[in-house]
Homo-oligomer: A and B are copies of this chain.
Amino acid sequence: MKVAIVSGKAEGPNKLNSFDNALLKARIGDVNLIKVSSMVEKGTEITDLPKLKPGAMVNCVLSKITSEKKGDLISAAIVIAIGDNLGCVAENARINTSPKEVKEEAIDMVKYMMDKRNEKINEMVVEEINHKVEEIGTVVASLVYLNEEIIAIQ
């Protein structure tokens, strides 16, 4: 199993388009996202996001937050921890919380998940994104599950 971790932030004229713009910035705006919960197989490899086939059905864990209040600091974090037998993913999204705290909360959650499964963490990757809202802003951080079917032929 291969996964990629991406993030994006954007403004937009309404909630839907703000969210869509953030997905575009994260380079996952042209596919169908199917939200899944938060586990990965053992031996999962974290890679860069390849170009995805427009319209493909893509499984992902999604951390996102939208705010319509000017000045709000919005943050989304996603963290993956991989062990010998499996891996866990935790997402966190907050308004007006220090980016450091949003990130640390996500890390604490994934550590706790791994601990509960008696898994030692061999590898951990964190992605975090922040945005100061101007009108209608969105941040997204996502772990994308990759497979041959969804990757565009270059």
Contact = CB atoms under 8 A, between A and B. Distances in A.
A55 B33 contact: no
A45 interface: no
A112 B12 CA distance: 10
Q: Which of A30, A53, A54 has the most CB of B within 10 A?
A: A54
Interface size class of A (residues with CB under 8 A): 35 or more
Interface string A6-29: 000000111011001101100001
A54 B86 contact: yes
Q: Is the interface of A mostly helix, strand, loop or mixed?
A: mixed
Interface in A94-134: 105, 109, 112-113, 116-117
Contacts of A37: 23, 31-33
